Amino acid sequence: MPDVFLRVNNIYKSFAGVKALRNVNMTLNYGEARCLVGENGCGKSTLIKVISGVYKPDSGTIELNGKTYEKLEPMESIENGIQVIYQDFSVFPNLTVAENIAMNTLRAEKAKLVNWKTIRRTAQEALDRIGVKMDLETNIEKLSVADRQLIAICRSLLNDVKLIIMDEPTTALTKKEVNSLLNIIRNLKKDGISTIFVSHKLDEVMEVSDTVTIMRNGEVVADGEVKDFDMSKFVYYMTGREVTTEKFVPTYEDQSELLRVENLSAKGGFKDISFTLNKGDVFGITGLLGSGRSELAQTLFGYYRATAGNIYINGVKTEIKNITDAMDEHIGYVPEDRLTQGLFLSQPIKINLLASVLDVYTKKMQLMDKEGQQEAVDKQVHDLAIKTPDVDNLVSTLSGGNQQRVVLGKWLATLPQILILNCPTVGVDIGSKEEIHNIIKKLANAGMGIIIISDDVPEVMNTCNKVAVMKKGRLINTYTHDEVTEEQLSSELS
């Protein structure tokens, strides 16, 4: 058996004049775990699609198992043992674990009848192979994101896999789940199975990867062993510039109390939460998925109703029964899941920015005030530096970072005094992430009170002046940012 499983030679690929890949080379040995990183639009996805046969390169060759292909077909890629696990995992939520795992094998065998015993046996074997225990009869819709991902991995294992390509595998996972995923990868490596990670979250994949390829603007700008890189070097190669991170110190003069929460509880969500948010504060609440962090945020925004406790805004006791109440108090909420909760993907950028202020910009006869709307849109596009040639373009044409700015802009247009951001930089590349952090700091320094919910510890440390850890529905510790270190927060989290 040769050492090299995959070799990509001098690949060029352009779409209608735009060069997506320029002279890309990459080598992958059996059992090697390689990390493919780069900002959005750098060509990572295109390269993955070339390897999996979805795109045909303009020039260059792909070598698989020593055989050279000029035009690789998707089926050839699969037959050579390449499996891509996409972000949505392509699982069937209405089917059981066993059915989902065994699905492809069943189809490959062209079975006309379903043998439930075989299905269960095949599924169990696949689960055993990665050392995971799961009830075979559970419907996938009841499972966590992490479990769905494991199922996608199990399914690919059944196809005599040689290379698993994982697109953003850790985006939706908690620290613990990431660790167990990385363990699985380590085991697969021992079996000689190679892995390519496509990821933004460098610290995580660095733990398990042997080698790294960094891309920028369609070119490979760095390639080597992970141990030769450190974080700042990564960031430098990815963005082409040094990104500096300074701790946030509030500078707004009037640091009077804006929001005080006392013993707030919601059944099944969280219990006895108390904290104070001053004007100009950025307050970070960090906790794992299921710690009650999202429920707390959504209760403050009126999406859920608190069952006990009090909320004081500017010292006045306030009841927030629904979102309208929250908006009347000028509370804004940037939700966790941009795509399903934040954006209207089929609508233009402009409409997305205006969604929460449609009733503000009106003229007589209930008609919309188009000039007022346009001014509001222009202001947000300018203030947030949303990169688009035209606000009438669909919001789906924007990159993740710019989409997040649109959601942010939608709320800034309502002139909030309190802004709650739930995981504001998930799926946003490093350069954009830093810019969003700067926007947040600027808003706080203009007097807004900001609450950030995030499990990204460096993010919380860099942007917040107060940090609280949330666990099992309770706030267990609250610190100012100079009282605590990143390591300490991380260990308190898990």
Partner 1 sequence: MNKDQTLKSKKTNLNSNLLGLFIFMVAVFIVMGLIKPQTYFSAANFQSMCFQFPEIGILAIGVMLPMITGGIDLSMVGISNLSAIVAALFMIHVIPEGASEGTQVVMVITAFALAIVVGIACGFFNGLIVTKFGTPPMIVTLGGQYLFMGIAIILTEGKPQLGFPEFFQELGNGTIGGAIPIPLVFFIIVAVITYYILQKTPYGLKLYLIGANQKASRYSGLKVDSLLRKTYGAAGLMSAIAGFILIARTNQANADYGTSYTLQSIMIAVLGGTNPNGGAGTVSGVVMAVLTMQFISTGINTMGLSNVNFLRQLVWGVALIAVMAINYFSAARKAKKALQST
In our burial notation (b when 16+ CB lie closer than 10 A, e otherwise), range 202-224 reads bebbbebbbbbbbbbebebebee
Q: Is 294 in the site for partner 1 (CB under 8 A)?
A: no
Query: Of the candidates 274, 318, 341, 478, which one interacts with partner 1 according to CB under 8 A?
Result: 341
Q: Is 350 in the site for partner 1 (CB under 8 A)?
A: no
Question: Site size for partner 1, by CB under 8 A?
Answer: 39
Q: Which is nearer to partner 1, 235 or 391 (CB)?
A: 391
Locus of tokens 């030679």: 9
Point out which span in 145-153, 205-213, 230-238, 351-359 binds partner 1 (CB under 8 A): 351-359
Point out which span in 216-224, 235-243, 387-395, 466-474 binds partner 1 (CB under 8 A): 387-395
How many Å apart are CA 437 and CA 432, to the nearest integer? 9
Q: Is 340 in the site for partner 1 (CB under 8 A)?
A: yes
Locus of tokens 């998925």: 289
Query: Of the candidates 3, 254, 359, 482, which one interacts with partner 1 according to CB under 8 A?
Result: 359
Query: Of the candidates 351, 386, 398, 475, which one interacts with partner 1 according to CB under 8 A?
Result: 351
Q: Is 151 in the site for partner 1 (CB under 8 A)?
A: no
How many Å apart are CA 329 and CA 417, to the nearest integer? 8
Q: Provide the CA 237 distance to its chain's centre, in angstroms.
A: 21
In whole angstroms, how close is the CB of 414 to partner 1 at the nearest point? 8
Which parts of 14-53 interact with partner 1 (CB under 8 A)?
A: 15-18, 45-46
Q: Provide the CA 179 distance to its chain's centre, in angstroms.
A: 17
Q: Which is nearer to partner 1, 118 or 347 (CB)?
A: 347
In our burial notation (b when 16+ CB lie closer than 10 A, e otherwise), range 298-335 reads bbbbbbbebeebebebeeeebebeeeeebbebebbbbb
Q: DSSP code of 395?
A: G
* Helices assigned H by DSSP within 228-384: 231-239, 293-300, 323-328, 349-354, 370-383
Residue pair 440/424 in contact (Cβ under 8 Å)? The answer is yes
Give the Cβ contact number of residue 9 at 10 Å: 16
In whole angstroms, how close is the CB of 33 to partner 1 at the nearest point? 27
Q: Is 304 in the site for partner 1 (CB under 8 A)?
A: no
Residue 338, both tokens: 């941009």
Query: Of the candidates 108, 111, 358, 476, which one interacts with partner 1 according to CB under 8 A?
Result: 358
Residue pair 77/41 in contact (Cβ under 8 Å)? The answer is no
Q: Which is nearer to partner 1, 3 or 88 (CB)?
A: 88
Phi and psi based region of residue 452 (left: phi greater than 0; alpha: psi -120 to 50; beta: remaining): beta
- Cα torsion angle, 101, 103, 109, 115, sign: positive
Q: Which is nearer to partner 1, 226 or 311 (CB)?
A: 311
Q: Is 473 in the site for partner 1 (CB under 8 A)?
A: no
Which parts of 388-447 interact with partner 1 (CB under 8 A)?
A: 389-390, 392-394, 397, 410, 414
Q: Is 342 in the site for partner 1 (CB under 8 A)?
A: yes
In whole angstroms, how close is the CB of 61 to partner 1 at the nearest point? 22
Point out which span in 116-124, 281-289, 318-326, 475-483 binds partner 1 (CB under 8 A): 318-326
Q: Which is nearer to partner 1, 41 or 447 (CB)?
A: 41
For partner 1, the binding residues (CB under 8 A) are 15-18, 45-46, 303, 323-324, 326-327, 333, 335, 340-347, 351, 354-356, 358-359, 362, 366-368, 389-390, 392-394, 397, 410, 414
